Amino acid sequence: MAHTIPSIPYPVIDFLSGERTYRRKYGHAGGEAIGRAVGIKRGYRPNVIDATAGLGRDAFVLATMGCCVHMIERSAVIARLLDGALSRAAKDETIGSLIQEKLSLTYGDSRKAMWLVPFNPEVIYLDPMYPPKQKSALVKKDIRLLQQIVGPDHDAAELLLLARKIATNRVVIKRPAYAEFLGHIKPHTSVKTRKHRFDIYLTSAKSASH
């Protein structure tokens, strides 16, 4: 076995959970916000790279909205958990075909792996780790475990600059509502929710057309 999961607690990734089923059927405000952020419109669903896959939640939401999403995860532990979740979901009678058609995964460094995705990404989505405003029990257990396993994303600003060279339409950065802009780089616009903000950076080609 190439990688073993350490003996510390680890988050559960399950695309068949009740929460995922509800989000797939009914959506919610946050899901609508992420859809607007990546540019979903009637008759248009962009191809998306989720370059910081984590627990795969946002990638799953985008896939259920009709986007083809390729996840990239640098942590061997999290990538293995994601791969297991994808395998189980792909066998499900209800969402199996959707998972097989819309959601895929690469384990590796996004700075290299983004160039190798088997489609031209219109959107690159980044949700880099960000320290909570203060230690709080309100931070969900699975998020705390993810932070413990993956660690800080010190290269997030570098990843943003690289992503803007690869995406043909835009780069979307998910940030806590209170956080500064990534790398202090001002976005073209933002989509805001109560807890989060989706900062949108148009790519050079897209900016030139406006």
Q: Is 39 left (phi over 0), alpha (psi -120 to 50) or beta?
A: left
Q: How far, in Å, CA of 149 to CA of 138, rounded?
A: 19
Residue 174 has pLDDT above 60, yes or no: yes
> Which pLDDT score, from 0 to 100, does residue 198 have?
98
- For range 171-186, the mean pLDDT: 94
Partners of 171 in the β-ladder: 124, 201
Q: How far, in Å, CA of 139 to CA of 117, rounded?
A: 32
Mean pLDDT across the chain? 83
Partners of 69 in the β-ladder: 48, 103
Q: How far, in Å, CA of 99 to CA of 90, rounded?
A: 6
Cβ neighbours of 84 (radius 10 Å):
12
> Which pLDDT score, from 0 to 100, does residue 167 have?
97
Count CA within 13 A, CB hemisphere, residue 196: 19
Domains of the chain plus CATH, in order, are: 29-208 (3.40.50.150)
Q: How far, in Å, CA of 160 to CA of 167, rounded?
A: 10
**pLDDT class of 208 with cuts at 50, 70, 90:** very low
Share of the chain above pLDDT 70, in %: 74
> Which pLDDT score, from 0 to 100, does residue 187 have?
98
Residue length, the chain?
A: 210
Residue 6 has pLDDT above 50, yes or no: no
Q: In what order do the strands lie in the sheet with 196-202?
A: 103-107, 69-73, 48-50, 123-126, 170-176, 196-202, 189-192
- Which of 3-17, 155-169, 195-209 has the lowest average pLDDT? 3-17
Give the H/E segment covering residue 103.
strand 103-107
Q: What is the pTM of this model?
A: 0.84
Query: What backbone phi and psi angles, to 5 degrees, belong to 93?
Result: -65, -30
**pLDDT class of 16 with cuts at 50, 70, 90:** confident
> Which pLDDT score, from 0 to 100, does residue 38 have?
97
> Which pLDDT score, from 0 to 100, does residue 10 have?
63
State pLDDT tens for residues 134-149.
Answer: 555 445 665 666 566 6
Structural tokens at position 189: 């616009």
State pLDDT tens for residues 89-124.
Answer: 999 998 999 999 999 999 999 999 999 998 999 999
